[in-house]
Structure 1
Amino acid sequence: MNIDQLEHLIEVANTGSLTKAAENLHVSLSAISQSISKLERELGIQLFIRNRNGASPTFEGKRIIEKASEAMVKVNELKEEANRYSETLSGELKIGIIPSPTNFLIDIVSEFKSDYPAVKIEIYEKGPMEILDDIHHHRLDMGLILTSQSLLEDDHSLRSETLLEGKMVAGVHKHSSLAKLKMISPEDLISNTLVLYNDDYIKKFTEDILSGFGEIDIMFTSNNLDAIKRAVQKGLAVTIGLDYSFNSHQPFQNGDIVSVPISGIRDERVYFTLVRKEGRIPTLTVKEFMKRIKRKF
């Protein structure tokens, strides 16, 4: 019995499939199958029932999987203890983040690298769905995305921690007639040209609230916040985004663009969230970096 076998055992249990476990761990299906079979022969019991639908643990297998998970916790604690004695952190740290808040990571990364120069940090700007897929397949250690609580609750294989919460609003120029309204209706929005930040959640939200009122006029979508700001400032368009973006993030802080609540939408909070794989025990490096992110909020 070895650590690889325990990791294989736990991943098959989490995914319910030898094929998915092999994909997530970047090994061949044959390697996973042989690993589990060898472990079953060594222990003298059947761990999984294999069929067309995947692999489900036997009664005995469930108890062994629980013990394997406990053992892997201890293995990671041992590795962390060794890191403490060496008084440094090392290895790789791969982070996925939606483009808008990337700048806030720079200070955290700079301070972290100053304290732990042996850690190699890679940051990937991607859409939220791509980030979640990469987390599922162990290509990222963590992700920072904009989403709703209901979407996160649908995926039990993820662990999430909320960093900021808010609601979707319209961003208009302060001299626009729309700025005088207490609430902007979908009818008000559909009669205006929109510029949108290139984020999957924002685009889906806009489609959901406006599609029943006519054709949506979108001038452009972009990851360039300055371009979005200029279009709104010149009275060419209205934008839609999270309320805290207009109050706390450049380039909206100077007050030229104000946020107005949108009427007729359900009051679902939107979250800027730190996500990682459920059941995957974070390394000391990951834990320390997450701690620093949470301190910023």
Structure 2
Amino acid sequence: MDVRELQYFITVVNQRGFTKAAEQLHISQPSLSNAIKRLEEEVGIQLIDRNTRSFRVTAEGKYFYSEALKLIQHFNLIKEEANKMKEKGPFELSIGLIESSLVWVPNVIINFKKKYSDVRVRLLEILSLQNVEDALLNFDIHLAITNQYIRNNDIDVIPLYKEKLVALLPIDHSLQRKKTVKLQDLANDSFIVCKQGFQSREDILQAFMQLGLRPNIQFEIERFETASQLVENKLGVTIVPENYVKYTRNGKYIVRKIVDMDIRRTVYLAYEKNRFLPEMVSEFMKLTREFFTK
């Protein structure tokens, strides 16, 4: 069994017959039919039902087809990576990130670069659930660090850590003298929250809902940096991950813990499990997991 035979079989299934498939592959129909017969003999199962007038793939053939697609995809990816290396030099590692992960990712990259000093690292902020899924499934990135829990059979999701969310208040806010705040205290303020499709929005609004509250949403944003700037300009209050403000310098706002609800979010490492991943990608994932186990 070779790649060519797999490609022949895939084309026959896609074209639902030997005649059109042979035309597309630019080979004779008898040659194509013989190639499929050889493939069936090699794998020991019947892939095409030849006892009916209409074209039909057997149940075993359907399974073989789906697995053959994955193998061809992996083969093409390996060729693509090899060509990139030949034409452009070292490999490139592409990582999709959420904003708050930028406070620790450089530590992992330092260790990664000790082994892969010539590898270019491309960091892309990819925030919404749909964008993360699309980037992984379209192979735009090798892996994603995200707070979105992805329910997709083609994507594996590994929990890395949990982080608390805290309230950001403008300077001179009426709650500035309090060491902690409650969601109830924030319910009537002009509220700043992530737009639809972001997990942080769902987590925050769910916490308000559990207390029978509805925040006064006046601003919808994508980045915590934008939310922080709005708070600094006294346009409202917001809730952000604790790690984000912990490492942000010169923030002109007040940070307060929330005590009536323990709002946390989980940060995950996600990757497309059917994709061929170069060794450098596996190494980065290993270093990331080790960073948090330590």
Band of TM-score, shorter chain: 0.5 to 0.7
CA–CA separation in structure 2 for the residues paired with 1:169 and 1:93: 33
SS at match of 1:166: strand
Unaligned regions of 5+ residues in structure 2, if any?
16-20, 26-31, 41-45, 50-55, 80-88
Report the CA distance between 1:249 and its aligned residue: 3.0
The partner residue of 2:161 within 159, 164, 182 is 164
Identity %: 17
CA–CA separation in structure 2 for the residues paired with 1:259 and 1:288: 36
Deviates more, 1:274-283 or 1:163-172: 163-172
Task: Tell me which structure has the larger Cα radius of gyration.
Answer: 2
Match of residue 25 from structure 1? none
Match of residue 142 from structure 2? 141
Match of residue 119 from structure 2? 119
Match of residue 257 from structure 1? 255
Output the TM-score relative to the length of structure 1. 0.61
Report the CA distance between 1:161 and its aligned residue: 1.3
CA–CA separation in structure 1 for the residues paired with 2:201 and 2:57: 38
CA–CA separation in structure 2 for the residues paired with 1:251 and 1:57: 63
Aligned length, in residue pairs: 251
SS at match of 1:258: strand
CA–CA separation in structure 2 for the residues paired with 1:280 and 1:102: 25
Report the CA distance between 1:217 and its aligned residue: 3.3
Report the CA distance between 1:273 and its aligned residue: 0.8
TM-aligned CA distance change 1:241 to 1:9, over 3 Å? farther
The partner residue of 1:282 within 277, 282, 287 is 277
Report the CA distance between 1:274 and its aligned residue: 0.7
The partner residue of 1:190 within 187, 193, 199 is 187
Report the CA distance between 1:259 and its aligned residue: 1.9
Amino acid at match of 2:60: F
TM-aligned CA distance change 1:222 to 1:68, over 3 Å? closer
**For each residue in 1:169-194, what CA deviation from the matched residue of structure 2 results, as whole angstroms up to 9, or x when unmatched?**
43446975377486623x53330122
Report the CA distance between 1:91 and its aligned residue: 2.4
Match of residue 239 from structure 2? 240
Amino acid at match of 2:162: E
Report the CA distance between 1:143 and its aligned residue: 0.6
Report the CA distance between 1:207 and its aligned residue: 4.8
Report the CA distance between 1:258 and its aligned residue: 1.9
Unaligned regions of 5+ residues in structure 1, if any?
20-29, 49-54, 80-88
Match of residue 86 from structure 2? none
SS at match of 1:100: helix
CA–CA separation in structure 2 for the residues paired with 1:191 and 1:69: 53
Kept in 2, the 8 Å contact 1:170–1:260? The answer is: yes
Report the CA distance between 1:144 and its aligned residue: 0.8
Amino acid at match of 2:125: E
State the superposition RMSD in angstroms: 4.9
Amino acid at match of 1:295: E
Report the CA distance between 1:256 and its aligned residue: 4.2
Amino acid at match of 1:116: Y
Kept in 2, the 8 Å contact 1:160–1:273? The answer is: yes
SS at match of 2:286: helix
- Counting only pairs closer than 5 Å after superposition, residues 222-237 of structure 1 correspond to structure 2 as 223=223, 225=225, 228-229=227-228, 231-232=230-231, 236-237=235-236
Asked if 1:221 is matched to 2:216, the reply is no
Output the TM-score relative to the length of structure 2. 0.61
Amino acid at match of 2:289: K
